[in-house]
A = this chain, B = another copy of it.
Amino acid sequence: MITATPSLVETVYQTLRSRLQLSEVGVFDRLVDTDVAREFGTSRMPAREALLRLVSEGFLEGTTRGFVVPRLTPEDLTDLFELRRQLEPRAAAAAARDLTDEAKATLSGAMTVIREAHATGDVGAMVRANLDFRRAWTGCLTNRRLASAISRYIDYFQAIRLQTFADLATRGGYVAAMGDLHDAFLARDSLAAADRMMLFLFAAETAYRTALETIEGEAAENHKPSGRRRSGAKHTREQ
């Protein structure tokens, strides 16, 4: 309803953005503007502009050899979680206060999927349900800038999210903390929501920190075969 014809840049941007959100682009993938352009059937410019926009928002990093997902350092984790602790507890409180019935249903649905996915080990479903969960409660925020800021800071972690769910014990703690948060939301208890969001964030930080160490360990191993990477295997799709 905003525009009848969204521009090509917008289309490409949104698609890439959602791929990043769904962890479909790993830290070893290279996004090259010509490849993206070919995939979407456009010229280089729209693809390039979409990529540059993602760069300016911090979701990608421009290199001399294509665009890549930035690798988070431990310091990045510290900084980002300081920001999240600053924003999300209060936001959760506001969301709990203004939660709609529709959002409640979505939250519960997502929570069910998360529990199932935890049991079956379906990390892909887990990532998607996590996104639904987040969208449901941030959607109830009246402060849209706050909502988008929160979403942005969370999305910086999407590249390593899959690894976060690798360890079963860590994942269990994660799911439990989210269950507590879910209960607070359903009860529309602002104080509990704020508190449990804070707890959730501390749990998430340690989970990400261990995931980061795991990844760096793997990277040190993989570093043997002259650092070559399978480039764009995911993006160049022969239609």
Contact = CB atoms under 8 A, between A and B. Distances in A.
By secondary structure, the A interface counts as: helix
Nearest to A156: B145
A214 B87 CA distance: 32
A78 to B, nearest CB: 8
Interface residues of A, number: 19
Nearest to A90: B86
A86 B79 CA distance: 15
A145 to B, nearest CB: 5
B52 A83 contact: no
A219 interface: no
Contacts of A234: none
Contacts of A144: 79
Interface string A94-118: 0000000000000000000000000
Given A83-B145, A87-B87, 9 more contacts: A49-B49, A53-B53, A79-B143, A79-B144, A80-B145, A83-B146, A86-B86, A86-B90, A86-B146
Interface of A: 45, 49, 52-53, 56-57, 78-80, 82-83, 86-87, 90, 143-146, 149
